[in-house]
């Protein structure tokens, strides 16, 4: 037989469960497929219409003027999430219901299960109040929102708008109306924002205009009161500014003063020229002519003196002319000096006058500056108000231009067409879902059944649930009488018990225990047959074996041996010492038997006496092996007493019937330091009902190799 392993993987565990309850799984899947098919055939076909929109981050630039709405960030996803939310808004759904007059369409409400509203409309309530109409619009909007889907195309600006209904034409009509009204609503929001901004700016402009006028009046009144007169002047950069008149006068007079001072210094310099050889004297024509004439006469006199004495009359005459000319030159130079002196005096007088006026203007300018402090405050207020007014006026004009441009950033790529094929129900998908659902339900039921079914069906459960080593698995035979099959040494059941015997040989140092007992949880699990089979296999190995039937309440070994039950164990326990008279021998196979004997009034009392231990000891001296057929554990106190007198105990469990909890309780009663459990034996095993295959273990039989060779 195959050695059964310990734990297995979770997948293998579930596969074994699926194999064990395969018909439950198959039935669940088939039933689910049938139900899925029926539901699909009974479902109303629905049609889905689709329209594709393109949503740009910004509208196209027709004018280079910034609008009211902020520009979107290229990586900002809030804009698109906002657009998707607006596409799913209740307000848009109600606008569609109003635009298509769905609130008065009884077929529309009937189509989507709102039968109460449809009945009201069919009753002809034409004079319905505005509140009732608004309620129908609200219901129609909720229906539209439940059946519309907004599906953005990932990593693109495309958005698919879909609507599903039993009417294909209605689906296309609603989708087209949905996209059209969404674009109109977007434009409307833009114009509303522009209109609000223009109205706001108009109010602000009126306020700023009034404030500017008031500040200008205050400035002019203060300037008139303080006699502050400013005149335009050109500043650096070509800008025009205003300067006080006093500052202009001071600047002009200061320039004149500087020029007058320079003229006075020049006149003084000419006046103080050395030796009268001033520039004016040198440039005087009369003096130049006199000097030229003197030089000529002096030259003639010098020539004459080369020939004559200075007293020579002509020479003397020339000398007188030179002296006269010198006197004339001196007179002319005196007139030049007088002129320079007069010019110097005039320049000094003019400089003094200008300096005095400049000092006066400086005092006036300082006084003006003190009076201009408040003027500057008023002037800055006027400039601020004017700048605010001009900026708002410019913005007002820009918004007017930008708001008048009707280019939208949302466009329809593909309008909705009337769908020809229904989108639901889909037979293959529904059947696939039904099959998966059925498989899941079947697997769940199988798990529940497996949990609820405590019967031990897997040989590995002996160790996992009961903690018993597996001695062997005895498969169910087709023969109603297994004793007959045990007589055939080539039968599968004999091979199985030989395997059990081989494993028992490893339980002690001497091999198969000399004394052992076989018990079970309840009657009918095959313990008596196991006792007989083990004894029979041991005799085939030339062992001298005796079987003791200790189940004095329901004896069965004498029937398996085909012997009588007049005398037996109960007689020995009652005090009969002639043991040899109680041992019976099978006529054909040589097995020895001590039957249970007459049923005593209280078997437990007999077993508690020391005679049972004495019996086991005496039989162990005479036989190679003593096998005791013990009563079932549940409800009886006999087996723990018997198991404590032998070397080991074999626990027999009927597969597919004995519950693990009952077996655990039975084993707990046997739990004692004086009781040694050799292992468990699974009987009446049905490989077809098992969750893994064991049938191959018994498919190998005598003659198979010869048949294959042939």
Percent of the chain with pLDDT over 90: 10
Nearest to 20, CA basis, from 348, 373, 530, 461: 461
> What is the C-alpha separation between 126 and 106, in angstroms, rounded?
13
Burial state string for 591-614 with b = 16 or more CB within 10 A and e = fewer than 16: bbbbbbbeebeebeebbeeebbee
Q: What is the mean pLDDT of residues 310-321?
A: 79
Residue 188 has pLDDT above 80, yes or no: no
Task: Determine the 3-state secondary structure of 476 from DSSP.
Answer: coil
The dihedral region occupied by 287, where left means phi > 0, alpha psi between -120 and 50, and beta the remainder, is: alpha
Q: What is the mean pLDDT of residues 273-296?
A: 66
The reported pLDDT for the residue numbered 599 is 86
Asked if residues 426 and 41 have their Cβ atoms less than 8 Å apart, the reply is no
> What is the C-alpha separation between 267 and 544, in angstroms, rounded?
170
Domain boundaries, the chain: 19-197+409-414, 236-403, 461-709
The reported pLDDT for the residue numbered 625 is 92
Nearest to 465, CA basis, from 216, 665, 299: 665
pLDDT in tens, 349-403: 887 887 877 787 777 677 777 777 787 888 888 888 888 888 888 877 776 665 5
The reported pLDDT for the residue numbered 52 is 92
Confidence of residue 697 (pLDDT cuts 50, 70, 90): very low
Q: What is the mean pLDDT of residues 195-202?
A: 74
> Which residue(s) pair with 231 in the sheet?
243
Half-sphere exposure (CA, 13 Å, Cβ side) for 284?
21
Is the previous residue joined to 482 through a cis bond, with omega within 30 degrees of 0? no
Long-range Cβ contacts of 170-175 (<8 Å, 24+ apart)? 170/108, 170/111, 171/47, 171/48, 171/49, 171/416, 171/418, 171/419, 172/49, 172/416, 172/417, 172/418, 172/419, 173/100, 174/49, 174/96, 174/100, 174/144, 174/148, 175/49, 175/50, 175/51, 175/416
N-terminal to C-terminal alpha carbon distance within the chain: 27
> What is the C-alpha separation between 578 and 584, in angstroms, rounded?
13
The reported pLDDT for the residue numbered 176 is 93
> For residue 185, which phi and psi values (nearest 5 degrees)?
-65, -40
Burial class (CB in 10 A: 0-12, 13-18, 19+), 150: middle
Alpha helices in 48-114 (DSSP H): 78-87, 90-99, 106-111
Residue 661 has pLDDT above 50, yes or no: yes
Chain centroid offset of residue 676 CA = 61
The dihedral region occupied by 600, where left means phi > 0, alpha psi between -120 and 50, and beta the remainder, is: beta
pLDDT in tens, 602-633: 877 888 878 888 888 999 999 999 999 989 98
Confidence of residue 450 (pLDDT cuts 50, 70, 90): low
Whole-Å CA distances, 573 to 132, 249, 261, 607, 630: 100, 156, 165, 7, 15
Burial class (CB in 10 A: 0-12, 13-18, 19+), 513: buried
The reported pLDDT for the residue numbered 704 is 42
More confident residue, 518 or 67: 518
Task: Determine the 3-state secondary structure of 696 from DSSP.
Answer: helix
Q: Which residues contact 141 (CB under 8 A, 6 or more apart)?
A: 90, 93, 94, 96, 97
Q: What is the mean pLDDT of residues 12-32?
A: 76
Question: Considering the domain 461-709 in this protein, what is its CATH number?
Answer: 3.40.50.300
Structure-block tokens of residue 108: 């529309």
Q: What is the DSSP string of 403-428?
A: HT----SEEEEE-----SS--B--HH
The reported pLDDT for the residue numbered 67 is 52
Structure-block tokens of residue 256: 């004149």
The reported pLDDT for the residue numbered 670 is 83
Any idea of the CA torsion for 610, 616, 620, 621, to the nearest 10 degrees?
Answer: 40
> What is the C-alpha separation between 603 and 632, in angstroms, rounded?
13
Mean pLDDT of the chain: 78
H or E stretch including 383?
Answer: helix 313-403
Confidence of residue 705 (pLDDT cuts 50, 70, 90): very low
Task: Determine the 3-state secondary structure of 396 from DSSP.
Answer: helix
The reported pLDDT for the residue numbered 177 is 92
The reported pLDDT for the residue numbered 401 is 62
The reported pLDDT for the residue numbered 695 is 43
Task: Determine the 3-state secondary structure of 553 from DSSP.
Answer: coil
The reported pLDDT for the residue numbered 516 is 93
């Amino acid at each position: 037989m195959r050695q059964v392993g310990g734990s297995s993987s979770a997948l293998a565990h579930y596969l074994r469960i699926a194999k064990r309850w395969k018909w439950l799984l198959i039935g669940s899947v088939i039933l689910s497929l049938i139900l899925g098919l029926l539901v699909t055939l009974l479902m109303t076909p629905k049609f889905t219409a689709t329209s594709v929109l393109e949503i740009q981050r910004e509208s196209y630039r027709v004018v280079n003027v910034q609008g009211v709405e902020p520009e979107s960030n290229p990586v900002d996803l809030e804009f698109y999430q906002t657009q998707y939310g607006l596409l799913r808004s209740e307000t848009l759904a109600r606008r569609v219901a109003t635009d298509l007059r769905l609130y008065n369409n009884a077929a529309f409400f009937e189509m989507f299960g709102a039968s109460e509203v449809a009945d009201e409309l069919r009753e002809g309530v034409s004079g319905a109040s505005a509140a009732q109409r608004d309620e129908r619009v609200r219901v129609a909007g909720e229906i539209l929102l439940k059946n519309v889907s907004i599906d953005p195309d990932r990593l693109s600006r495309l958005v698919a708008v879909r609507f599903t209904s039993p009417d294909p034409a209605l689906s296309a009509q609603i989708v087209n109306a949905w996209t059209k009204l969404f674009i109109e609503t977007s434009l409307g929001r833009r114009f509303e924002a522009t209109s609000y901004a223009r109205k706001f700016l108009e109010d602000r402009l009126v306020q700023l205009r009034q404030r500017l006028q008031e500040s200008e009046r205050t400035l002019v009144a203060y300037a008139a009161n303080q006699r502050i007169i400013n005149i335009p002047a050109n500043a650096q950069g070509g800008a025009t500014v205003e300067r006080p008149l006093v500052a202009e006068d001071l600047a002009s007079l200061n320039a004149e003063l500087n020029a007058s001072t320079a003229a006075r210094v020049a006149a003084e310099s000419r006046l103080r020229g050395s030796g009268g050889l001033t520039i004016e004297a040198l440039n005087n024509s009369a003096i130049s002519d006199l000097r030229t004439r003197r030089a000529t006469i002096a030259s003639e006199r010098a020539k004459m003196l080369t020939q004559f004495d200075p007293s020579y009359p002509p020479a003397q005459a020339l000398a007188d002319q030179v002296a006269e000319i010198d006197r004339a030159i001196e007179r002319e130079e005196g007139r030049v000096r007088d002129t320079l002196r007069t010019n110097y005096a005039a320049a000094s007088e003019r400089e003094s006058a200008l300096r005095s006026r400049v000092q006066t203007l400086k005092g006036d300018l300082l006084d003006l500056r003190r009076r201009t402090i408040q003027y500057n405050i008023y002037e800055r207020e006027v400039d601020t108000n004017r700048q605010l007014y001009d900026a708002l006026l410019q913005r007002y004009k820009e918004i007017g231009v930008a708001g008048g441009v009707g280019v939208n950033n949302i466009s329809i790529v593909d309008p909705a067409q009337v769908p020809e094929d229904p989108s639901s129900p889909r037979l293959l998908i529904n059947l696939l879902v039904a099959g998966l659902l059925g498989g899941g339900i079947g697997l769940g039921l199988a798990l529940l059944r497996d949990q609820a079914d405590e019967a031990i069906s897997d040989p590995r459960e002996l160790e996992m649930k009961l903690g018993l080593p597996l001695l062997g698995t005895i498969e169910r035979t087709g023969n109603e009488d297994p004793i007959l099959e045990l007589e055939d040494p080539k039968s599968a059941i004999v091979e199985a018990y030989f395997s059990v015997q081989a494993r028992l040989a490893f339980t002690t140092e001497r091999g198969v225990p000399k004394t052992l007992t076989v018990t079970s949880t309840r009657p009918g699990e095959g313990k008596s047959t196991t006792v007989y089979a083990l004894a029979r296999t041991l005799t085939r190995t030339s062992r001298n074996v005796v079987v003791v039937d200790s189940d004095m309440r329901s004896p069965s070994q004498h029937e398996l041996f085909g012997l009588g039950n007049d005398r037996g164990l109960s007689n020995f326990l009652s005090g009969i010492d002639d043991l040899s008279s109680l041992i019976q021998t099978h006529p054909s196979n040589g097995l020895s038997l001590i039957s249970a004997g007459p049923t005593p009034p209280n078997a437990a009392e007999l077993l508690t006496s020391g005679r049972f231990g004495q019996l086991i000891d005496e039989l162990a001296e005479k036989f190679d092996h003593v096998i005791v057929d013990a009563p079932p554990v549940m409800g009886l106190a006999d087996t723990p007493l018997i198991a404590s007198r032998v070397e080991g105990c074999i626990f027999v469990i009927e597969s597919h019937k004995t519950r693990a909890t009952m077996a655990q309780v039975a084993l707990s009663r046997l739990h004692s330091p004086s009781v040694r459990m050799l292992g468990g034996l699974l009987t009446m095993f049905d490989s077809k009902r098992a969750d893994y295959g064991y049938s191959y273990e018994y498919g190998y039989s005598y003659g198979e190799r010869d048949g294959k060779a042939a």
